[in-house]
Amino acid sequence: MKLLRYLSGGESHGPCLIAIIEGLPAGLYLSSDEINSDLGRRQQGYGRGGRMKIEQDRVEILSGLRFNRTLGSPLTLRIRNRDWENWRREMALEGKAPAGSAIFTRPRPGHADLAGGAKYNQQDLRNVLERSSARETALRVAVGSVARKLLQQFGLALSSRVLSIGPVEAPRVPVGEPWPLDKIERSPLRCPDADAERAMIEAIDRARREGDTLGGIFEVMVTGVPLGLGSHVHWDRRLDGRLARAVMSIQGIKGVELGEGFATAARPGSQVHDPIVFDPTSGVTRSSNRAGGLEGGITNGQPIIVRAAMKPIPTLTRPLPSVDLSTGEEVPAAAERSDVCAVPAASIVAEAVIAWELAMAFREKFPGDYMEEIEASFKYYKRHLKGYLSGGDVTGDVTGKEGEQGRGPGCS
């Protein structure tokens, strides 16, 4: 059984979104203000639509917390949908559909409408689009914020930036150089380069005028990652695959790469793999990070770098051709309220899902029922790594006490 898991529920225009998280250790400090800060970051970004003017996402913690400390029992989160007030009749949980209620029968190319309707035998495609909507990512950000808080206690930090919008590309910060995080957070497009930001805004404005949408590419970096999360011994425990799946599960994502990813396919191995070197301060380390912090499905102690390509949002104000499923007639696809560009928001969602996947891997490596127990295990493992990577005898003492090699918390 997984040590850390969650289930979520809720529709885009239903009363609320809810998640129940199981497996958090007791004693973790949590604040709704910190979660709300991440929810606010998701709602920002140039090119967002009218829904963001209605919603002001705030989390309510309903269980599993007392005086800001987790209890070890399930943590329940709720985000109310303010737009529910406008949809009470159309999205009523009980009773019959209101007289004259419109049925959604014109599937939108690029959405789950047609495939989901056919799979679940839904005549009204709203029964599909309400759950497949990216509104669900608000809850994933809240859950990921909880995971981020756990990781922060052990020195891991996540950040993201936008690399391109449509055809406009921003200059990339060379690998290894620090990101200008203040500029990124202040930018409406999470792009620290002023010239590129201006060109991106112009491209979004042009797409809006033309009734079109734009996608782009973003990047997430995780620093402070210890060597040893994930595993090579089974395919489903390889952390690179788990991270790729998590990011690919975000609505609109069509491509994921780790490190230098696709670019490595065109280079010889001598220009791809990261040399192993010895540093007098840190011991055995790497002179580059083309792998993006993972080798063999295991973190190697370098920052994790994940990039993703987001397609343009499928809902267009000048809709593409479709078919009305109730008549078989060729018609324009339905036009729902939507964004022109949501790449900056998607980067925040990616931070969240990566944080969650890393927290799961962290709990697998460092199990425990309460924070002090996990901290003791983590400190022991850090001592082990220091000894192993010191360039000395890898079978040597990791406790600092002669004759007690390999004895850590819970060993006898």
Q: What is the mean pLDDT of residues 288-310?
A: 97
Amino acid at 14: G
Q: What is the pLDDT of residue 394?
A: 53
Q: What is the mean pLDDT of residues 165-179?
A: 87
Domains and CATH numbers, the chain: 5-95+135-365 (3.60.150.10), 370-407 (no CATH)
Q: Considering the chain, what is the average pLDDT of its residues?
A: 92
Per-residue confidence band for 336, with pLDDT thresholds at 50, 70 and 90: confident
Q: What is the mean pLDDT of residues 25-29?
A: 98
Per-residue confidence band for 172, with pLDDT thresholds at 50, 70 and 90: confident
- Rounded to the nearest 5 degrees, what angle is found at the Cα of 92, between the Cα atoms of 87 and 98? 85
Note the pLDDT tens digit of each residue in 216-275. 999 999 999 999 999 999 999 999 999 999 999 999 999 999 999 999 999 999 999 999
Whether pLDDT at 405 is above 50:
no
Lowest mean pLDDT among 23-27, 249-253, 338-342: 338-342
Nearest alpha-carbon partner for 130 in 169, 188, 87: 87
Per-residue confidence band for 338, with pLDDT thresholds at 50, 70 and 90: confident
Q: What is the pLDDT of residue 50?
A: 61
Note the pLDDT tens digit of each residue in 181-216. 999 999 999 999 999 999 999 999 999 999 999 999
Whether pLDDT at 49 is above 80:
no
Q: What is the mean pLDDT of residues 109-127?
A: 96
SS3 letters for the chain? CCCCEEEEECCCCCCEEEEEEECCCECCECCHHHHHHHHHHHHCCCCCCCHHHHCCCCEEEEECEECCEECCCCEEEEEECHHHHHCCCCCCCCCCCCCCCCCCCCCCCCCCHHHHHHHHCCCCCHHHHHHHCHHHHHHHHHHHHHHHHHHHCCCCEEEEEEEEECCEECCCCCCCCCCCHHHHHHCCCCCCCHHHHHHHHHHHHHHHHCCCCCCEEEEEEEECCCCCCECCCCHHHCHHHHHHHHHHCCCCEEEEEECCHHHHHHCCHHHCCCCEEEECCCEEEECCCCCCCEECCEECCCCEEEEEEECCCCCCCCCCEEECCCCCCEEECCCCCCCCCCHHHHHHHHHHHHHHHHHHHHHHHCCCCEHHHHHHHHHHHHHHHHHHCCCCCCCCCCCCCCCCCCCCCCCC
Q: What is the pLDDT of residue 101?
A: 83
Q: What is the pLDDT of residue 112?
A: 96
Nearest alpha-carbon partner for 239 in 250, 249, 251, 227: 227
Phi then psi dihedrals of residue 168, to 5 deg: -90, 120
Q: What percent of the chain has pLDDT over 90?
A: 83
Note the pLDDT tens digit of each residue in 131-146. 999 999 999 999 999 9
pTM assigned to the model? 0.93
Structure tokens at 360: 């799961």
Q: What is the mean pLDDT of residues 112-124?
A: 96
Amino acid at 391: G
Q: What is the pLDDT of residue 30?
A: 98
Whether pLDDT at 397 is above 90:
no
Per-residue confidence band for 393, with pLDDT thresholds at 50, 70 and 90: low
Whether pLDDT at 102 is above 90:
no
Per-residue confidence band for 401, with pLDDT thresholds at 50, 70 and 90: very low
Per-residue confidence band for 56, with pLDDT thresholds at 50, 70 and 90: confident
Cβ(307)–Cβ(324) under 8 Å? Answer: no
Q: What is the pLDDT of residue 293?
A: 97
Cβ(209)–Cβ(345) under 8 Å? Answer: no
Q: How far apart are CA 117 and CA 35, in angstroms?
A: 34
Whether pLDDT at 175 is above 90:
no
Could you tell me the end-to-end alpha-carbon distance of the chain, in angstroms, rounded to an integer? Answer: 26
Biggest CA pair distance of the chain: 82
- Rounded to the nearest 5 degrees, what angle is found at the Cα of 39, between the Cα atoms of 162 and 355? 65
Note the pLDDT tens digit of each residue in 282-296. 899 999 999 999 999
Q: What is the pLDDT of residue 404?
A: 43
Higher per-residue confidence, 172 vs 17: 17
